Amino acid sequence: MTRLKTLAACVAALAVSSPAFGQPGATGNAEVGSQKVQMCQGCHGIPGWRTAYPEVYRVPKIAGQHQAYLVKALQEYKSGARTHPSMRAIASSLSDSDMANIAAYYAQLGLRVAQ
């Protein structure tokens, strides 16, 4: 079962990172995105953070995630396809450009750590 979950996660990551999955040209600007992440850092900026609303769970690490994945996740929160109430409220306030810029910022954070 664990191997199946790992395989499914790998397939999903490959699909999300494919150019066909994201919007061509929606590269985002990391510098502009850095000015919009205050609302994200309260949870995603604290290593090992756990939240208690709406239930106790570990907050996922998003630094270094693929930009296309982050944009898609934000779009899904905004549309209601993903249902976390705090994320839905935050994503609802973002434009497509904001999403691309925030995703560019978090994607490049992983590059800095890897160097």
In this predicted structure, which of 12-16, 43-47, 82-86, 108-112 has the lowest mean pLDDT? 12-16
The pTM score is 0.69
In this predicted model, what pLDDT tens digit does every residue of 23-41 receive, in sequence order? Answer: 444 589 999 999 999 999 8
Structure confidence by residue, pLDDT tens digits, 43-81: 888 776 777 766 777 788 899 999 999 999 999 999 999
Other beta carbons less than 10 A from residue 43's beta carbon: 16
Helix segments in 18-84, DSSP class H: 30-33, 38-44, 67-79
Could you tell me how many residues make up the chain? 115
Find the mean pLDDT for residues 85-112: 92
CATH number at residue 18: 1.10.760.10
Angstrom distance (rounded) from CA 27 to CA 24: 8
Cβ partners under 8 Å of residue 25, min gap 6? none
CB atoms within 10 A of CB 68: 22
**Domain residues for 64?**
2-114
> How many domains does the chain contain in total?
1
Provide the β-strand partners of residue 50.
58
